Amino acid sequence: MTREIEHNRAQSRFQWMEDGQLCVLDYDLHDGVMRITHTGVPSAVGGRGIAADLARAALETARREGWKVQPLCSYVEAWMRRQRGAWDDLLAS
């Protein structure tokens, strides 16, 4: 399943509605660095790969915009590590 994750720029978040449950990845942007602060998927819709899709959408956006990424959210940090370097070029130093 391909999800069309919405980038809600006004609220600095990526979001997806699954079975009436709002799933989000929150970030802030400062000096070209996207600091990913939180990923939230309600347990009622967990285990469906939604958090991974939110992370992928955020990182694809960062790459397209020329932003660096600082994954402060433990989920996104671990997810990036599991991708075996696919996103390492985005990591802020």
pLDDT digits (tens, 9 = 90+) for 68-86: 999 999 999 999 999 989 9
What's the number of CA atoms in the CB half-sphere (13 Å) around residue 30?
6
Domains identified in the chain, total number: 1
Domain membership of residue 1 (yes or no) is: no
Predicted confidence band of residue 1 (pLDDT cuts 50, 70, 90): low
Q: Domain range holding 73? A: 6-90
> Is the pLDDT score of 51 beyond 80?
yes
pLDDT at 2: 75
Tell me, what CATH number does 75's domain have?
3.40.630.30
